[in-house]
Amino acid sequence: MSFKNTFTYLPEDHEAEAASNSYLMSLLFIMAGLPLPIVNLIGTVIFFFSNRKSTYFVRWHCTQNLLSQLAIFLMNSVGFWWTISILFTNESISNKYIAYIMVLLIFNLVEMITTIYAAIQTRKGFHIQWWFFASLTNLICKADKS
Amino acid sequence: MRKLLFQGIVSIGLFFGAWYLLMQVNWMRILHIQQATDKVQEELGDLFWDVFKQNDLEIKDVKIVQAVDSVILSICSANQINYKNIKLHILQKDEINAFALPNGHLIVFSGLLMHTDNVEQLAGVLGHEIAHIELDHVMKKLTNEIGFSVLFSLTTGNKNPELVKQLAKSLSSTAFERKMEKQADIKSVDYLTKAFINPIAFSDFLLKLSEKDGPINEYLSWISTHPNSKERASYIRLYCKDKKNSFKSVISASTWEMMKEELK
């Protein structure tokens, strides 16, 4: 779930571009790194650190994206290792496993759609806030003292 | 902060709630996964059985097969085990060995039949192997060793004959995990007790095999695949203590003797 809001200030065009790129970058890494769940997180972390000293708007969106990727990474990691244990150990397929993979697919799909939406909207300079992650980001990411 | 906590709890709840709801659906049946797994087991069982069939002579003498079959039938019917799932094969081989393959194939070497003193001892070993089948130990051992993906590929085109041979050999000559062996021992005692067969004979058989000074030393395959026999004999004896002690003979003494005669 995401909400379109106005930011504390009107971001410049280069800020909107950088913020949008953070979302695009994670999408790119998801596609490149499937099915390894760690790859998208690495991509997002690199982008997050390279924009650490950027403006508030860019930092805010990089942080929101990083937090959501972290949550997805944790969920996907469980699914990934569960699958590996089924393929290579005596763990067997069960309804519990199939249900988990389905939930993963749903959450990943929702995350992907909202990321694309956020990438488009932030490029236009809009401030996209995601359910839960936006509140968490507000707590972590503070405005520049100036 | 309150908003954050509320949203966090709702998000986590949504995740686990969706998982719980989806878990209620029998996906294994809808997606025919159980059928596919059974099919893999069936194919593997046939593949491994072919390896033994090609190398050893199968005994089809009615008197021998029926005698052993009667023991299996008694165990199965007393323990609600589907008798048709157990596919007995007796092979002409001096080694004292019996082992289970996937899909309920139970291989018994003639050496085992020759060196068991009575039908109760044989029932103990058969009960142990049936327990491995019923508890799905064979597939667990195989997937532990090479993984389900390789097993699946063996049944779908990539029938690597060398690997099949190696795995078949491993099933006939290496032990299961200690925990699985103990489970099968205890289960065998339960099976025998329910079938009114004296389970102490199973312990006696293990003790007999552990005394390696005897003339049967060179044929002791089952003991090499089932180590720590003395320890096993003692815990079986201990477990038998509380069991009932009214027993009956599964086959008559004359049938047992006739089977032995036929084997000579």
Are A107 and B28 inside 8 Å of each other by CB? Answer: no
- Return the closest-CA partner of residue A35 out of A104, A121, A100: A104
Can you tell me the distance from the alpha carbon of A98 to that of A104, in angstroms, rounded to the nearest whole number?
10
Are B15 and A103 inside 8 Å of each other by CB? Answer: yes
Percent of chain B residues past pLDDT 90, beyond the cut: 42
In this prediction, residues B131-152 reach a mean pLDDT of 84
Which stretch of A7-16, B76-85, B125-134, B210-219 has the lowest confidence by average pLDDT? B210-219
| Closest residue of chain B to A88, computed from CA coordinates | B147
Interface test with A, best of B28, B41, B152, B180 (most A CBs within 10 A): B28
Percent of chain A residues past pLDDT 70, beyond the cut: 90
Which stretch of A23-37, A81-95, B84-98 has the lowest confidence by average pLDDT? A23-37
Interface test with B, best of A95, A136, A137 (most B CBs within 10 A): A95
Question: What is the separation of C-alpha A104 from the centre of its chain, rounded to a whole number of angstroms?
Answer: 14
Task: Residue B102: list chain A partners with CB under 8 A.
Answer: none
pLDDT at A2: 60
* A94 in B contact zone (CB under 8 Å): yes
Residue B132 predicted with pLDDT over 70: yes
pLDDT at B209: 80
| Closest residue of chain B to A136, computed from CA coordinates | B4
Q: Please state, in angstroms and as integers, the Cα–Cα distance from residue B158 to each residue in A50, B109, B155, B167, following that order.
A: 48, 30, 7, 15
pLDDT confidence of B92, banded at 50, 70, 90? very high
Are B22 and A89 inside 8 Å of each other by CB? Answer: no
Strand, coil or helix: A103: helix
Are A99 and B37 inside 8 Å of each other by CB? Answer: no
* B36 in A contact zone (CB under 8 Å): no
Domain boundaries, chain B: 60-263
Task: Residue B3: list chain A partners with CB under 8 A.
Answer: 135
> Taking a C-beta distance cutoff of 8 angstroms, is the pair B38, B219 a contact?
no
Can you tell me the distance from the alpha carbon of B120 to that of B197, in angstroms, rounded to the nearest whole number?
6
pLDDT at A114: 92
| Residues pairing with B109 in the sheet | B91
In this prediction, residues B232-251 reach a mean pLDDT of 83
pLDDT at B21: 96
* B234 in A contact zone (CB under 8 Å): no
- Eight-state DSSP code of residue B118: S
pLDDT at B45: 92
pLDDT at B150: 78
- Return the closest-CA partner of residue A26 out of A71, A83, A66: A66
Contacts of A92 (CB under 8 A, 6+ apart): A86, B37, B143, B148
Are B148 and A94 inside 8 Å of each other by CB? Answer: no
Can you tell me the distance from the alpha carbon of A55 to that of A62, in angstroms, rounded to the nearest whole number?
11
pLDDT per residue over A49-81, tens digit each?
888 888 888 999 999 999 998 898 899 899 999
- Residue ranges of B 94-153 with Cβ closer than 8 A to chain A: 139-141, 143-144, 147-149
Can you tell me the distance from the alpha carbon of B123 to that of B98, in angstroms, rounded to the nearest whole number?
12
pLDDT per residue over B156-215, tens digit each?
766 778 888 888 888 887 777 788 888 999 999 999 999 999 999 999 998 888 775 455
Task: Residue A139: list chain B partners with CB under 8 A.
Answer: 1, 4
| Residues pairing with B59 in the sheet | B90
Interface test with A, best of B3, B15, B34, B38 (most A CBs within 10 A): B15
pLDDT per residue over B8-33, tens digit each?
999 999 999 999 999 999 998 888 88
Shortest distance between the Cα of A64 and any Cα of chain B, in A, equals 14
Are A132 and B10 inside 8 Å of each other by CB? Answer: yes
pTM of the model: 0.69
- Eight-state DSSP code of residue B245: -
Helix axes B178-194, B200-210, angle to 10 degrees: 140
